[in-house]
Amino acid sequence: DGQSTISGCQFDGMTLGEYLNSVWEGRAVLGKNCEAFGQFPVLIKFIDAKDPLSIQVHPSDEYALRVEGEYGKTEMWYVVDCDEGATLLYGFKHEITKEEFARRIADNTLLEVTNAVPVKKGDVFFIKSGTLHAIGKGILIAEIQQNSNTTYRVYDYGRVGKDGKPRELHVEKAKEVTNLVPPK
């Protein structure tokens, strides 16, 4: 939700949005494939996970546009660094049904069927929309993703929000969009 700021040139100090709205070429500098998007279509984050992050899934563009009114999300992770023995979650060990998926979320046994993948510095993962995923403890990643906030959380390690209550899970929507087979 924050704008990148340009540094070290004639546009020093401008946000990317200000630059796109002020230069002679305007949004045309992004190329013709960006014309369909109301906002810059790529988001890059650095995520330093000191604890395991929530298990989540993102919908496809088609589903997200229909249900959420914004694009879905596919992302790519580059492991910048990690602790020895660190793992991330990437899909399932074996195929499960929607009913088993919902049951395992409800009874806190989802981790029994998820695919924990050991990581090392330099690893790259393509997280296609519909793939269940989570960044594990002790991993620093560069995340390159579609610029979308549509995320369906299904497991959160018992965390609570600022209100002291468990953070919201999005089980029904996740059931509709999650690919319930091992990643290829």
SS3 79: strand
Annotated catalytic residue within 104, 153, 159, 167: 153
CA distance 30 to 34: 6
Kindly give, in sequence order, each residue whose CB lies less than 8 Å from that of residue 135, ignoring residues fewer than 6 positions away: 47, 49, 52, 53, 77, 88, 141
CA distance 70 to 118: 33
Answer yes or no: 153 catalytic.
Answer: yes
H or E segment and range at residue 116: strand 114-118
Kindly give, in sequence order, each residue whose CB lies less than 8 Å from that of residue 101, ignoring residues fewer than 6 positions away: 110, 174, 175, 178, 180
CA distance 177 to 133: 13
Q: Of the candidates 81, 92, 85, 84, which has an alpha carbon nearest to the alpha carbon of residue 55?
A: 92
Q: Which residues are catalytic?
A: 153
